[in-house]
Amino acid sequence: MVFDNLLLERESAVAIVTINRPKVLNALNARTLDELGRAVLDLKHDDGVRVVIVTGAGEKSFVAGADISELAVQTPTGGRELALTGQHVLDAIENLGKPVIAAINGYALGGGCELAMACTLRLAADTAKLGQPEINLGIIPGYAGTQRLSRLVGKGKAMELILSGALIGASEAERIGLVNRVVPAAELMTEARKLAGQLAASAPIAMRYIISAINKGLEMPFAEGSVFEATLFGLIASTDDMREGTRAFLEKRKAEFKGK
Ligand code: CO8
């Protein structure tokens, strides 16, 4: 696949997607969203890919939000469609069925913070700044930021961040649970690759079910989520990977998972 605004690299079982519009701090215009949607679909169906890393081109920014020059001329119907399209792409990332690591190398603002929140795990450079500054433009988040941020950090902090539009540093983001871990900027991609490598060696079907159980379970009452988990547990018991993982433990060797 050839893209104008994305770089797509493969390093064995790890795919690295780089949002590549550094002149505008990797702002997401409609074309970039469309390309991201197509890339994600392709990665979902590529069995050779077990983990995806998403990052931004350049030193300064992960993604500085939706492209404000496009937002400035939105019509009501066009704005709704664009918001729904972005939500659809981010839902696809959240439910890719393989871990997606956001390597937050700088500004993750507005739609950029929403993109990071749709990823399974977030590693941030110590220089990163995160926030939902839409209020400063007289608008609200449109890529489900109100929903994901409140689920990640709780209602009170989400209200504070979205109403104030304040940007926070990486360590504060880690403290409130918005990112999983902060690393020195120079080591961000090394750490992201290391984490991706560890995850790539894990059992792929089990990872898919864990992601599904947590994502779907959060939308269900506790009892239904627990039954859903039990059903997935029953399914996982039918896999070769389950037999390999348990046998390898008993034989005191490292398991070799095949995703079957
Ligand atoms: N959109 C378009 N262009 C941008 C964006 C953006 N989000 N962010 C930065 N740029 C451009 C600047 O205009 C500038 O372009 P130029 O060189 O032509 O003047 C270039 O990138 C570099 O930026 P700055 O000169 O501003 O760099 P600074 O280091 O001075 O500042 C900041 C960096 C603080 C990140 C600053 O650029 C900034 O505040 N950017 C906007 C951040 C923002 O408000 N993001 C939220 C956007 S709204 C959003 O994401 C809503 C999502 C849901 C949409 C729903 C669909 C309808």
Residue 2 banded pLDDT, cuts 50, 70, 90: confident
Q: Whose CA is nearest to atom 27 of ligand 1?
A: 25
Q: Closest by alpha carbon to 98, among 136, 148, 145, 51?
A: 51
Q: Is 25 in the pocket of ligand 1 (CB under 6 A)?
A: yes
Could you tell me the strand order of the sheet in which 121-125 lies? 6-11, 14-19, 51-56, 100-104, 121-125, 181-183
Residue 109 near ligand 1, beta carbon < 6 Å: yes
Domains and CATH numbers, the chain: 6-200 (3.90.226.10), 204-250 (1.10.12)
Q: What is the pTM of this model?
A: 0.97
Ligand 1 atom at shortest distance from the alpha carbon of 60: 29
Q: Is the CB of 106 under 6 A from ligand 1?
A: no
Rounded to 5°, angle at Cα 162 from 160 and 167: 85
The torsion angles phi and psi of 138, rounded to 5 degrees, stand at 80, 20
CB atoms inside a 10 Å sphere around CB 42: 13
Residue 102 pairs with which residues in a beta bridge?
54, 122
Beta-carbon contacts of 137 under 8 Å, excluding residues fewer than 6 positions away, are 68, 71
CA of 65 to the centre of ligand 1 (A): 7
**No. of helices (H) and no. of strands (E), the chain:** 11, 10
Give the catalytic positions in this structure: 114, 134
Query: Ligand 1 centre from 24 Cα, in Å?
Result: 7
Ligand 1 pocket check for 30: Cβ under 6 Å: no
Kindly report, residue by residue over 150-209, the tens digit of the pLDDT: 999 999 999 999 999 999 999 999 999 999 999 999 999 999 999 999 999 999 999 999
